[in-house]
Chain A
Amino acid sequence: MKDSILYTDRLSVGYDKKILIEDINIKISAGKIFTLIGANGAGKSTILKSISKQLELISGTVYINTKNINLIKNREFSKSVSIMMTERINPELMTCRDIIEYGRYPYTGQFGTLSEYDKNKVDEAIRLVNAEEIAEKNFNFISDGQKQRVMLAKAICQEPDILILDEPTSFLDIYHKLELFDILKKLVYQKNIAVIMSLHEIDFAQKISDYIICINGDKIDRIGTPEEIFSGEYISRLYNIPSGIYNEYYGTPELKAVTGNPEVFVISGQGRGINTYRRLQRLNIPFSAGIIHENDIEYPVAKALASELVSEKAFEPIGEDAFKKALDMIDSCKKVICCLESFGTMNNYNRNLFEYSKEKRYLNIL
C-alpha cells in the first residue's frame, strides 16, 4: 500500500446514509490513469465525490499519502487533490486567466495576491492545455471545449498529486475529446500525477487508461488493465448488451442485427462488405453473408449483423463444405450482392459463387 498515492479500505459510498456501492478497495498509483466505467447510475460520480471529500463516507476509509482523508485539513487536501466535475460554472465578467488563477487559492495569503511563482504556475498551466489564445477572453463567451480546457488548467495549477475528473468529455466533439486525452497523457508523464476519472465512452477508456475499474451493481466488479477488461464477453456482460454486438477489436458495438429469414446473400471479404452490411441493417433487410475468413477485417461486423454467415478458418483456402453451404443460401435467397471485384487463390470459391449468381441472374446492386 505504501506505493499507492490513494487507497481505500472497505469503503462504502452513497447518499443520505443509503449505500450505493460497498466494500470498495482500490489502490491508485502516481503517474497512471484510472478510469471508472459502468452503466448509467452505477455510481461512478458517487465514488469520485466521496474520495474528493464532497460526499461524506458511509463507512470505511480513504487514505491519501497514507493519511485518512477525514483528518486532512481542507487547505492541505486541496493541495493534493483537484477536481473537474460536471457542474457548470457561470462566473460574471471573469477572464479565463481569472478562473485559472483560482487554482493557486490554497497557496496564496489572506487576500489571494499572486506571487511571481504563482503567476509562472498559471502560465505553465495555460500552456499545458493550449489555452494561450483564450486566456484573456471572458469565460462566458468561449465554447464548451475551451471551458473544459480552462477548468482543467485551473485544476492543474492547483499542483495536485491526484486529479479527479467526472466525465470530462461529456460536452466535447471528437476533436476536443482527442485533445483533452492528449493533455491528460502529457500531464501524467510530465508531472507524475495520478488521474482518476469516469468515462462513458468505453472506446476511449480502453485507449487512454492504464487501469479500468468496473462498477456493476453494488460493487466494484473488476479492476484490471484494458487488455484484461476489454477481451472476451466481459464488456457485454457489464453493460448488459446481447453477446456478439460489442466488438472487442474495434472497441465499438454494432447496432442490433435484423432478425428473420435472409433475403439477400452478400459475397464479400477484405473489408469491402462492411458498408453494405450496415446499409442492409438500416434498411431492415435480413441477410446472409459469405464466404469470409475468420481473420478478415470485416468478420466481426458480418458476425454481428448477418442472420447467417458462412466462414472459413483463418489462413486456409475456402473449402468445399463452406462453398456448398453458401450455394444453398444463395438458392434460397435468390438475390445476391457481390462486393468483390477480384478474387485470389484463397477465396477462389467466392469467384464460383459470383459466376453462379450471374448465370442465374440473381445479381443485384444495392
Chain B
Amino acid sequence: MKKRHMICFSVLIMLLIFLMGLNISLGSVKIPVSEIFDIITGKSNNISFVNIVKEIRFPRIMASIILGGALSVSGFLLQTFFANPIAGPFVLGISSGAKLTVALAMIFFLQRGMILNSASMIAVSFIGSMISMGFILLISGRVKKSSMLVVSGIMIGYICSSVTDFIVTFADDSNIVSLHNWSMGSFSGIDNKDVKVMSIVILTAVVFTFVISKQIGAYQLGEVYAQNLGVNIKLFRLMLIILSSILSASVTAFAGPVSFVGIAVPHLIKNFFGTSKPAIVIPASFFGGASFCLLCDLIARMIFAPTELSISSVTAVLGAPVVIFIMLKNSKSKQR
C-alpha cells in the first residue's frame, strides 16, 4: 500500500472514531466524555446513562456505520457496473423498489397482527431491489446513453414512491406512523437485535465484494478487456447485481430509502485517495460512508431538536452538491 493511502486510511478511521464519540455524547441528554469511557469499561454507576448509551445510542450509531458503509459500497458497485459516475441505489430506483415491497409486506403482516423479523424484511426488500434492477437492466440493454439510464432510474423511483404513498394513504391509522417514519428514511428505532442481523448480512457482502476486487478492477477497463484478461463476464455481472442489491436492500429494510450517499461517498473517497483501485476504494468507501452517515444522523437529530429530520433530507443537502460537481467535471473533461 502506498504511503498516501496509509495516511488517508488513518485520517478516515480517526474521523470515524471522533464522530462516534460525538454521536454517543450529544443528544437530548448530554453524556460527558469521561463518562463514556466508564460506560464502555462497565465502571459507570449512572444507570440512566448506561441505558441511553447501550439501548438507544449504540444501536443507532452501529446502524449508521453499517448501513452508511453498505450504501457507499453498493453505490461504488453500481457505478462500476454501469460505467456511470452518478449511478447509485437511490438514483437508479433500486431503493424505491425495495421501499415499495417492504411497505406492502409491512401492511400485509401488520393487518394480520404479525410483525416481520429483520431477516425477512431484508428478504422482502431484496426482492423489491431485484425487480427495480431488472427494469434498469432491461432499459440499459436498449439505450446506451448513460444519462438516459439515470433518467429512467429516477422515473422508476418515482413510480415506486407514488405507489408506496398510495398504499400508505389507505393503510390503518396505527400502521401509518411507523410506516411513514420509515418511508422517509431514518436510523431511529433500530435495536441491538437488528444491528446483529444487519452486521452479519452486510459485512458478509462487503467482505465478498472485497474478495472480488481484482475482477472489479479489470471490469473498470470495460467488458471487452476484462473478458480478455480472463474474467467470466456473465458470472461477474450476476455477482455485482446480487451484491449491490443485497447491500442496498438491507439499508432500505432497516432505515428506508437514503439518498445520495451511494454517489457522493465513493466519489469523495476516490479523489481523497487519488485512485479508483477497488482494493482501496471498497474498504475506504465503507469507512467513508459510515462517517458520512454518522455526521448526517447527528445533524438530523440535533439541528431542530427535539424534532428529528429524516436522514435523506440531510444526506441530500450534503450529497447533491457532490453530484452536481461530478457532472460539471465530466462535461469539462469531455471537452478536452
Contacts and interface: CB of A to CB of B under 8 A. Distances in A.
A51 to B, nearest CB: 12
Interface residues of A, number: 32
B222 interface: yes
Which of B224, B225, B336 gathers the greatest number of chain A CB atoms within 10 Å? B225
B214 A108 contact: yes
A106 B230 contact: yes
A93 B218 contact: no
Nearest to A75: B230
Interface in A54-103: 54, 74-75, 77-78, 81-83, 85, 87, 89-94, 98-99, 102-103
Interface string B199-223: 0000000000001011001101110
A54 B224 contact: yes
B306 to A, nearest CB: 43
Contacts of B270: 92-93
Contact of A99 (B213, B221, B333): B221
Nearest to A155: B228
A95 B159 CA distance: 42
Contact of A91 (B220, B228, B229, B336): B220
A154 B220 CA distance: 14
A315 to B, nearest CB: 56
A111 interface: yes
A236 interface: no
A177 interface: no
Contacts of A53: 227-228
Contact of A74 (B214, B222, B230): B230
A103 B230 CA distance: 11
Nearest to A78: B230
A255 to B, nearest CB: 35
A173 to B, nearest CB: 18
B225 A89 contact: yes
A111 B279 contact: yes
Contact of A106 (B229, B277, B333): B229
Contacts of B277: 94, 98
A105 B230 contact: yes
Contacts of A247: none
A271 B31 CA distance: 96
Contacts of B218: 102, 105
B276 A105 contact: no
Contact of B214 (A81, A87, A110, A154): A110
Contacts of A111: 213-214, 279
B232 interface: yes
B232 A74 contact: yes
Nearest to A95: B275
B269 to A, nearest CB: 11
Given A110-B211, A112-B214, A83 B225 contact: yes
B231 A91 contact: no
A81 B270 CA distance: 32
B86 to A, nearest CB: 13
Contacts of B331: none
A29 B83 CA distance: 38
A168 to B, nearest CB: 15
Given A93-B270, A93-B271, A82 B228 contact: yes
A90 B82 CA distance: 12
B85 interface: yes
A143 B307 CA distance: 55
B228 A94 contact: no
Contacts of A140: 333
B227 A102 contact: no
Given A99-B221, A112-B214, A140-B333, A92 B276 contact: yes
Contact of A112 (B217, B220, B271, B275): B217
Contact of B229 (A85, A90, A93, A102): A102
A35 interface: no
B275 A93 contact: yes
Nearest to B79: A92
Contacts of B229: 78, 102-103, 105-106, 158
A83 B224 contact: yes
A54 B213 CA distance: 23
B76 to A, nearest CB: 11
B134 interface: no
A52 interface: yes
B214 A105 contact: yes
Which of B220, B230, B232 gathers the greatest number of chain A CB atoms within 10 Å? B230
Contacts of A87: 222, 224-225
Interface string A154-192: 100010000000000000000000000000000000000
A74 B218 CA distance: 14
Contacts of A91: 220-221, 276
Contacts of A89: 221-222, 225
A54 to B, nearest CB: 6
A106 B222 CA distance: 16
Contacts of B214: 105, 108, 110-112
A102 B215 CA distance: 10
A81 B230 CA distance: 10
Contacts of B213: 111-112
Contact of B224 (A85, A108, A141): A85
Nearest to A141: B336
Contacts of B227: 53-54, 74
A122 to B, nearest CB: 14
Given A90-B83, A141-B336, 13 more contacts: A74-B227, A78-B230, A89-B221, A92-B276, A93-B271, A93-B274, A94-B220, A98-B277, A102-B225, A103-B229, A105-B229, A105-B230, A154-B225
24 contacts: A52-B228, A53-B227, A54-B224, A77-B230, A78-B228, A81-B228, A83-B228, A89-B222, A89-B225, A91-B220, A91-B276, A92-B85, A93-B270, A93-B275, A94-B276, A94-B277, A102-B217, A105-B214, A105-B230, A106-B230, A110-B214, A111-B279, A112-B214, A158-B229
Interface of B: 83, 85, 211, 213-214, 217-218, 220-222, 224-225, 227-232, 270-271, 274-277, 279, 333, 336
